[in-house]
């Protein structure tokens, strides 16, 4: 495994260096890979398999936002074309974007962060010059952040052979994003109004409420919101399982916890484990010796490592907040309710969450050549066998899925963290082939 951030982070298993009065790590942490970090100091407090390469699901949208978010004014308006909504993967989570209608850039980003909308990601990617161009820029951004475990194939995190990241890299993406005020605002937003369809009679445009799929933020599906939580992003596919990166503030420190693929013993397992690790992290501050550190970008600062949008991409225009008479107005009364920050964190939220009634349902050349050979072999094995026989990894078959769209009051399906699924209306689908859940190096 990689040793970026320290030698201990390259070792398998749990890494922690506790002092005499340090709290014990919580029991029943089942994530195949996890990490607890202090974003304020850059110290990694504890980790398990921090550099294991696993499918990231929609947590990869943090890297997408790091790459594309700074490029377009949030008040700019974009009219969606049919081509921008083509080729979205079956079973994708959708916020409900309609072709031939106008959307503010900030609405598109709410679709990304709150509903994990792959339709919003595709529209923004086309604005940025296309899917392929955006993937290249995301890979360049990951390289600059020293996220060397990450290989980007799709901008939305949709399962693709060879697409992997790690708990360490996802933490870097979250830390980078939280430096951006708009990123922080979007990922902390609990609910918002999203532009809907046009009334055929009045030609007025309606709006519907969307809710963040991050249950640790909203308290949906039986969870109790974690005090001080400020985001960041969750994800789910049948291949990746549940993935989540969460950040919370207390006493001048911001902790980031990433958990990848916990055992599905509880519908809220990834959130419960994240909360337990946050509790431990705040209690352990100043009492444990760090096992590693969050590295700085290769560029020397957290700056955008990608070019400006391609001139071939359709450009957004400044927003006016007016209706154009064709039902394309953007003055939709959009509102957003954000999470607040608190200095008091109680561990009682975990018991409350468990006891609730739940509804279950390029690269550096020398490094690049070696990794290219590994990825090619890995992808070939995925196509032929559909499994990877590595210790500690399980190949999960994909079930039949269907494309879904967001709608009023939708907050995700029970038993699913809302990363790739969620929404209200199934409009078709197909069986997806099995993909390997991950690999180690």
- pLDDT tens track, the chain, 441 positions: 899 999 999 999 999 999 889 999 999 999 999 999 999 999 999 999 999 999 999 999 999 999 999 999 999 999 999 999 999 999 999 999 999 999 999 999 999 999 999 999 999 999 999 999 999 999 999 999 999 999 999 999 999 999 999 999 999 999 999 999 999 999 999 999 999 999 999 999 999 999 999 999 999 999 999 999 999 999 999 999 999 999 999 999 999 999 999 999 999 999 999 999 999 999 999 999 999 999 999 998 654 434 445 433 445 655 433 333 333 333 333 445 555 433 333 334 433 433 333 333 333 433 443 344 344 433 333 333 332 223 333 222 232 233 333 333 333 333 333 444 433 322 233 333 334 445 444
CA distance 345 to 142: 32
| CA 24 to centroid of chain Cα atoms | 29
Q: Is the full-model pTM beyond 0.95? A: no
Whether 438 contacts 54, CB under 8 Å: yes
In whole angstroms, what is the distance from residue 319 CA to residue 347 CA?
44
If one counts every other C-beta atom within 10 angstroms of the C-beta of residue 6, the result is 18
What local confidence, expressed as pLDDT, does residue 315 receive? 52
**Which is nearest to 259 in space by CA: 270, 247, 275, 272?**
270
pLDDT for the residue numbered 300: 84
Domain boundaries, the chain: 7-430
pLDDT at 337: 57
Q: Which of 1, 420, 389, 422 is closest to 239 using CA atoms?
A: 420
* CATH code at 7-430: 3.40.710.10
**326-367 confidence digits (pLDDT tens):** 333 333 334 455 554 333 333 344 334 333 333 333 334 334
pLDDT at 287: 96
Over the stretch 271-288, which tens digit does the pLDDT of each residue have? 999 999 999 999 999 999
CA angle (248, 250, 253) in 5-degree steps: 85
Q: Which helix (H) or strand (E) holds 259?
A: strand 253-260
Residues 6+ apart with CB under 8 A from 124: 64, 68, 72, 105, 108, 109, 112
């Amino acid at each position: 495994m990689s040793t970026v951030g320290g030698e201990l982070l390259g070792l398998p298993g749990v890494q922690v260096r506790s002092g005499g009065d340090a709290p014990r790590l919580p029991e029943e942490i089942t994530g195949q890979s996890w990490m607890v970090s202090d974003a304020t100091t850059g110290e990694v407090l504890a980790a398990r398999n921090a550099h294991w390469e696993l499918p990231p699901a929609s947590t990869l949208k943090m890297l997408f936002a790091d790459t594309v978010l700074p490029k377009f004014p949030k008040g700019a308006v974009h009219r969606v074309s049919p081509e921008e909504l083509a080729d979205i993967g079956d079973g994708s989570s959708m916020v409900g974007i309609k072709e031939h209608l106008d959307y503010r850039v900030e609405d598109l980003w709410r679709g990304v962060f709150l509903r994990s909308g792959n339709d919003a990601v595709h529209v923004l990617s086309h604005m940025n010059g296309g899917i392929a161009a955006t993937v290249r820029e995301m890979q360049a951004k990951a390289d600059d952040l020293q996220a060397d475990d990450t290989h980007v194939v799709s901008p939305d995190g949709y399962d693709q052979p060879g697409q992997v990241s790690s708990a360490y890299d996802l933490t870097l993406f979250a830390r980078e994003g939280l430096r951006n005020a708009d990123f922080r605002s979007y990922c902390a937003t609990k609910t918002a109004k999203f532009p809907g369809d046009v009334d055929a009679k009045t030609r007025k445009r309606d709006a519907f409420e969307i809710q963040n799929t991050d249950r640790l933020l909203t308290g949906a599906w039986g969870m109790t919101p974690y005090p001080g939580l400020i985001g960041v992003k969750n994800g789910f596919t049948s291949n990746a399982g549940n993935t989540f990166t969460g950040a919370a503030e207390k006493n001048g420190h911001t902790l980031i916890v990433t958990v990848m693929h916990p055992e599905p013993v509880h519908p809220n397992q990834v959130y419960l484990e994240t909360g337990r690790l946050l509790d431990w992290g705040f209690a352990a501050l100043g009492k444990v010796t760090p096992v590693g550190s969050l590295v700085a970008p290769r560029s020397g600062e957290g700056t955008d490592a990608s070019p400006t949008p391609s001139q071939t991409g359709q450009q957004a225009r400044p927003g006016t907040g007016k209706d154009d008479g064709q039902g394309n107005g953007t003055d939709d009364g959009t509102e957003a309710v954000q999470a607040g920050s608190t200095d008091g964190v109680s561990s009682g939220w975990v018991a409350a969450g468990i006891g609730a009634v739940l509804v279950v349902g390029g690269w550096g050349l020398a490094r690049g050549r070696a990794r290219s050979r590994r990825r090619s072999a890995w992808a070939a094995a995925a196509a032929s066998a559909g499994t990877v026989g590595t210790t500690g990894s399980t190949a999960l078959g994909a079930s039949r899925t269907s494309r879904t769209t967001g709608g009023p009051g939708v907050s995700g399906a029970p038993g699913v963290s809302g990363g790739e699924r969620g929404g209200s209306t199934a409009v078709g689908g197909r069986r997806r082939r099995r993909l390997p859940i991950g690999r180690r190096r």
